[in-house]
Every structure is written in structure tokens, then in C-alpha cells.
Structure 1
């Protein structure tokens, strides 16, 4: 009997609900430079859905919903901890963000893998990590 693990092929998308669609759209498309796959306004929900592409085929779905409740985010809270994006050069990626006015934590080295990484936040303070490829 086959296990479910043999059927899994990777992550298709990560969905994010933002508080300010214009600010988040600008951040993900202009600051991070993610290309838009599709953008839809759903009038019945007064909601936008923006599909963004990552180079490996993974997508980020950015949603807006009126009056969506805030989600507390603490480094060790239960639930999704952060979104990690693979980069070819953590220091260069960090510098690009800082040039765009984004606060970025110092580059650290993962004790288990020896890889460089750093954290920053999107406009809703969701933690995002750049991780050395």
C-alpha cells in the first residue's frame, strides 16, 4: 500500500490575507519583484485575489477581505511560523530590501546546515525569511 508521501510533489501555493491590498501588492510585486500571474476582483466578496509567481513554480496568493481580523504573530506561537524564500545570495537580497526601505534583521548562520538566512516582514508584519540556496 502506497503512503500519501509518495503522492506529494511540493508546495503549490501559500495564501496570505492582507490588511491593505495596495500596500501589499506593491510590496510583493515591486519590492520582492514577483510577477503577477492573475488578478481578480470578486465583487460578491468585495475581495481581491492576486496570484504571484515564484521562479520554481510555487505561487503566493494574496487576498484582501473587508474587516479581516488581525492575527497575532509571535516567533514561537502555534501555526505557520514564517514563509522562507530560497535566494542565491542572502547578503545581496538583504541589501536590495534595505535599499527599498525595508528593515531586515542581521544575516545569521543556521547551526544545523551552515546556511545563511535573515528575516524581514511584509506590510502586515508577517515574518518572511531569505534562506541561502
Structure 2
């Protein structure tokens, strides 16, 4: 059974479920070395045991959590794609296109930046 199957099946709105599945499948295909992990009620991807990116679903959007460092450095890129944000995440509205180039940049940044990280979260 896929690590995220139960999570996806519990998304009631079929179009929201499909959007989340599309994103998860894209990450899995684009970054096959990342490991899937379900924790804190959300699907996430890790590299050598360290957090790379996580997702969650709300009524009107998908939250993307790239970890606070990326948000601090590059929040303008999320804004440039038309996404709203909090301090540790940004939101892709279900009425918005998914900026896969932005997701790719986030994941590549975190993989490189955390290549020597030996903890799940970055140490401050």
C-alpha cells in the first residue's frame, strides 16, 4: 500500500484529491530518490532522513511547507506565482495552477542545502 493512499482517500472533494495526487506523483517521479513519509497528518518527502517538503490540504488550498529557511530566503518567488503565505508555508489555491518549476526549485534547494544535515529539521 502506498504511504499516502489513506490520506488521499480521505480528501472528500474529488478534484482536490486529484490535484493532491498529481502533486505527490510529480514529486515521486521527478525525485525518485526521495522517501515518502506520512507524519503530522501530512504527506512529506525526506532525503537521508531529513525533511525536504511537506503538503497538507484545506478547503480552498493545498499548503506547501518547504521549511522556514526557504520561506525566509525566497518568499517573493511564491508571491510571484500568485500564492499567499504564512511564515513556514505557502498556499496553492484550488483555482490556481501549480507552479511545478517553483516546486522543483524548492526541492532541489532543500536537497542541496541539507545534504550534510543529520537531523530531521534544520538546526537554527
What TM-score comes out, normalization by structure 2 length? Answer: 0.35
Based on CA coordinates, which of the two structures has the bigger radius of gyration?
1
What TM-score comes out, normalization by structure 1 length? Answer: 0.33
Which structure has greater strand proportion? 1
Which structure has greater helix proportion? 2
